[in-house]
Amino acid sequence: MSENTTQIHEVVRQRYGAIARSQGSSCCGGNTASASQDNLIPLYDNQLVATLPAEVTDLSLGCGDPVTIAQLRPGETVLDLGSGGGIDCFLAARQVGDSGYVIGVDMTPDMLAKANANKVRMGVHNVEFRKGQIEALPVTDRSVDVIMSNCVINLSPDKPAVFREAYRVLKPGGRISVSDIVTEGEFSPELRADAAQWAECVTGAIDAAEYTDMMRAAGFVEIEVVSKLDASGLIPVQEGMPRIFSARITARKAE
């Protein structure tokens, strides 16, 4: 692993460890609706999250709802990249039912501790949280029906590796549904080097076309940017930055 990758992972781990310990701070959203009142991006349908405990919804740090676009079916095996406090895993667990299984992978120990405490609190048995990096997934080849991810891949310093790993663990015909921060245009090298803003889901984001090109290079087909909403109310945007969006992107591994 390169020195840059290790450094970014460390800054990201520190930020999300602190958020997990203080529970309820905000990052990419900070709640089940956008933190901003000016430019509200709805994250989840109210009915979907209404019965989740506050400990789960308060630690929702995503920028969209990858569960709903994944259109999960009973019995499916689902993998959540960067599962945080577990909100999307718990929603997915309900949809795949007892015959299905959900794996959440996260590299931040304090986040995993919160997710596991939430699992016990909810009495859920078909969810497992694994410690690991999304660039080197602790998951067997061709074992997963659906991958989802919510506001995480933008944080990775090695996005091509994330997509290669996602492709490796998907079964043939498997699908991926992500909500993520993307841009139109590039950040300057100075902004890219700002590790604090990277960890806030800002300066690690890449142009949507580059993002989908990376997915294609990993082997994905039927890549679709389902929606792209202005994210300036969701994350701290400054002058001199490219336009920033919360996008929902789906794709498939060929049969």
Chain residues in the site for ligand SAM (CB under 6 A): 9, 12, 16, 27-28, 60-62, 82-85, 87-88, 106-108, 111, 133-135, 150-152, 155-156, 201
> Smallest distance, Å, CB 255 to ligand SAM?
29
| Between 201 and 229, CB nearer to ligand SAM | 201
Contacts of 127 (CB under 8 A, 6+ apart): 86, 89, 90, 93, 101, 102, 103, 104, 119
C-alpha–C-alpha distance, residues 24 and 9, integer Å = 22
Query: Which is nearer to ligand SAM, 109 or 173 (by Cβ)?
Result: 109
Torsion of CA 73, 79, 83, 87, to 10 degrees: 10
Closest approach of ligand SAM to the CB of residue 222, in Å: 23
Q: Which is nearer to ligand SAM, 121 or 221 (CB)?
A: 121
Q: How far is the CB of 100 from ligand SAM (least distance, A)?
A: 19
Residues listed for the chain: 255
Q: Which is nearer to ligand SAM, 30 or 100 (CB)?
A: 30
Q: How far is the CB of 107 from ligand SAM (least distance, A)?
A: 4
**1 vs 193, which CB is nearer to ligand SAM?**
1
Residue 193: partners with Cβ closer than 8 Å, 6 or more residues away: none
| Residue showing the smallest CB distance to ligand SAM in the complex | 84
In this complex, which beta carbon is closest to ligand SAM, that of residue 221 or of residue 226? 226
CB 32 within 8 A of CB 91: no
Q: Is 249 helix (H, G, I), strand (E, B) or coil?
A: strand
Residue 112 Cβ vs ligand SAM, minimum distance, rounded to whole Å = 8
Counting Cβ atoms within 10 Å, is residue 74 exposed (0-12), middle (13-18) or buried (19+)?
A: exposed
**In the structure encoding, which two tokens stand for residue 51, read together?**
């019965």
Residue 90: which of 133, 132, 148 has the closest Cα? 148
CB of 246 vs ligand SAM, minimal distance in Å:
12
Tokens of residue 208, six digits: 């949507």
